[in-house]
Chains A and B, each alone.
Chain A
Amino acid sequence: MKILVCISHVPDTTSKINFVDNNTKFDTAGVQFIIGPYDDYALARAIELKEATPGTTVTVINVGPAETEPTIRKALAIGADDAIRVNADPTDSFFVATQIAEHAKGFDLVLMGRESIDYNSGVVHAMVGEMLGLPSVSPVMKLDIDGSKVKMTREIEGGKEEVESTLPLVAGCQEPIAEWKIPNMRGIMSARTKPLKVVEPKATELSAVLQKFELPAPKGAVQMISADNVADLVTKLKNEAKVL
């Protein structure tokens, strides 16, 4: 089986978000980049499937500039066999999906996170599925393969559903599909020499063009209320915040 795992290169979840160049660029100063946490679950499940089924290969793909290569190498260290980097800025989900679809043909299973934690669109899996004419399911909390059948648990508002589909398939993953994997020393050493192919993007006209970024208005100071006077909180919620 051939598995493709799509990974995003995103700021660590604890990063402070700021913009530069007149609010048109993300401020990378002091920011640590990671494999998208949801993508990390997808990668972990792919590695589990590889370990369970001899002959399975895992390829990772990232749409991003050269700065994303350490993140791609980390995915190789975790256990992927080879990697593709599409040399372009991933500013729009349709653009990213177009690039992934270009390289996803021939794979039995395409896994990625339910969403990237920078742009949060949550749709690249659905778009890739549509472009390739394959079923797509997200957010997947459990995924098991039985021959050409795939059984999944998908989270829905206030619950979950059991879903069945067939390979080839695209899935957007989330916890608890697998435990995150931490690269070991052997993985890190071997990742250095694993193939990482750099390709230029397919020319695509952008259908959604980013103009600028904005930060939310700063929050006011907290009002502390005594634990002996909770009635005061109720009054404030009613009359001041007007939320009761």
Chain B
Amino acid sequence: MTTLVFVEVAEGKVRKSSLEAVCFAKAMGGSVTAIVLGSSDAAELQSLGKYGATKVLHAADPKLDKGIIQVYSAVLTKAMQDENADVLVLANSSLGTPVAAKVAVKAGASFASNVVELPNTTSGFIVKRSIYTGKAFSIVELKNAKKVIAIKKNAAEVKESGGTAEVVNYSVTLSDADFNTTILSSEKATGDILLPEAEIVVSGGRGLKGPEHWGILEELAKTLHAATGCSKPVSDMGWRPHHEHVGQTGVKVAPQLYIAIGISGAIQHLAGVNSSKCIVVINKDADAPFFKAADYGIVGDAFDVVPKLTVAIKSANG
């Protein structure tokens, strides 16, 4: 079996979610070829070998520097053919998921997104998907000879298996017709840890009483190297940007540790955090429903507890 992995590079670095995709493909068995589109640092491409890719296709055409979904899907479909790949694996993302869907249509492949663990291939090719916003799973058989799967965060452990990869320049013929959308500009929080990829998330709710009080939360997040999130009312009121909104209609996170401060825990918020390994809830209302979904809870005033927690973590880290 040959698996092609689409690897996303952001600001010169391979995204962590894409490393998970490479490790997922490696764990599936067979040979793993990674493909990177657009400019990228040679050392980053080479590093994919450590995670299990034996070959890295690099399509360095600068026209691929911007992620145009239609263009990317055409290139990946061609690469699947050229490499005779049975499966395309990539990480769920705002770019990867629609690209994967288009490749599946072009290649006549079976498709599944939100895949949470390795496929069961003892009889057929069976995947487990997260559905109902993390509240259930579905077991789905992918019937077609070719498959495209988009994996959810934590579907595979990122580990180095110590190999090396051959980096090959992959030349592509791009069709002007595929440039059917233009990215005029983009705005990205810089230097911050991306919320969907973060291992620790510190989130705040209305209990913080106003955007001017976010300092204590940011201080805690900085100490933990965590991303910051918020509840829906907080983003609706404009206290924090929409891309920080965690919940049913916002970002779904799956960190090792989720710390919720002053969030009551509406079921719509829980839907965005239920894939977290460990949940800590800090709320002054002992009856907040969030405590029922938590692993650890502290009943107390955020303005008292949060700074104390920051100090305790700093002292524990020496």
Residues of A near any B CB (own CB < 8 A): 11, 13-14, 17, 19, 37-38, 92-94, 97, 117-123, 125-127, 129-131, 134-139, 141, 154-166, 174-176, 205-216, 219-220, 222-227, 230-231, 233-238, 241, 243-244
Contact with A along B128-143 (1 / 0, CB 8 A): 1111111111111111
| Contact A118 B111, beta carbon cutoff 8 Å | no
| Contact A117 B133, beta carbon cutoff 8 Å | yes
Residue of A nearest to B268 (CB): A13
Residues of B near any A CB (own CB < 8 A): 69-70, 73, 92-95, 97-102, 104-106, 109-114, 126, 128-144, 180-189, 192, 194-197, 200, 224, 242-243, 248-249, 256-257, 267-268, 271, 274, 277-278, 280-281, 291-301, 304-305, 308-309, 312-313, 315-316
Cα A231 to Cα B310 in complex, Å, equals: 10
9 contacts between A and B (CB under 8 A): A19-B136, A94-B110, A120-B114, A159-B189, A162-B185, A164-B181, A211-B140, A216-B134, A223-B295
| Contact B131 A165, beta carbon cutoff 8 Å | no
Q: Which of A131, A161, A216 contacts B105 (CB 8 A)?
A: A131
Cβ contacts under 8 Å, B182 to chain A: 163-165
B interface secondary structure, majority: mixed
Please indicate which of the listed interface residues A37, A137, A139, A230 has the most CB atoms of chain B within 10 Å of its own CB: A230
Cα A233 to Cα B99 in complex, Å, equals: 42
Cβ contacts under 8 Å, A127 to chain B: 101-102, 104-105
Q: Which of B114, B144, B271 contacts A121 (CB 8 A)?
A: B114
| Contact A123 B243, beta carbon cutoff 8 Å | no
Q: Which of A19, A117, A226 contacts B248 (CB 8 A)?
A: A117
| Contact B131 A135, beta carbon cutoff 8 Å | no
| Contact B102 A156, beta carbon cutoff 8 Å | no
| Contact B257 A224, beta carbon cutoff 8 Å | no
Cβ contacts under 8 Å, A135 to chain B: 70, 180-181
| Contact B184 A163, beta carbon cutoff 8 Å | yes
| Contact B141 A208, beta carbon cutoff 8 Å | yes
Distance in angstroms from A63 CB to nearest chain B CB is 16
Cβ contacts under 8 Å, B112 to chain A: 121, 208
Distance in angstroms from B98 CB to nearest chain A CB is 4
| Contact A13 B271, beta carbon cutoff 8 Å | yes
Cα A112 to Cα B106 in complex, Å, equals: 22
Please indicate which of the listed interface residues A121, A164, A165 has the most CB atoms of chain B within 10 Å of its own CB: A121
Cα A225 to Cα B309 in complex, Å, equals: 12
| Contact B133 A120, beta carbon cutoff 8 Å | yes
Distance in angstroms from B147 CB to nearest chain A CB is 9
| Contact A120 B105, beta carbon cutoff 8 Å | no
* A-B contacts besides A122-B92, A162-B185, 10 pairs, CB < 8 Å: A118-B132, A123-B111, A127-B101, A159-B189, A207-B111, A210-B138, A213-B138, A225-B296, A225-B298, A244-B224
Cα A172 to Cα B116 in complex, Å, equals: 24
| Contact A137 B97, beta carbon cutoff 8 Å | no
- With A94-B105, A210-B140 already in contact, the answer to whether A159 and B298 are too (CB < 8 A) is no
| Contact A213 B102, beta carbon cutoff 8 Å | no
| Contact A138 B187, beta carbon cutoff 8 Å | no
Distance in angstroms from B57 CB to nearest chain A CB is 22
| Contact B298 A157, beta carbon cutoff 8 Å | no
| Contact A94 B104, beta carbon cutoff 8 Å | yes
Cβ contacts under 8 Å, B126 to chain A: 211
| Contact A123 B257, beta carbon cutoff 8 Å | no
Cβ contacts under 8 Å, B184 to chain A: 161-164
| Contact A126 B69, beta carbon cutoff 8 Å | yes
Distance in angstroms from A70 CB to nearest chain B CB is 21
| Contact A207 B105, beta carbon cutoff 8 Å | no
Cα A231 to Cα B315 in complex, Å, equals: 9
Residue of B nearest to A92 (CB): B140
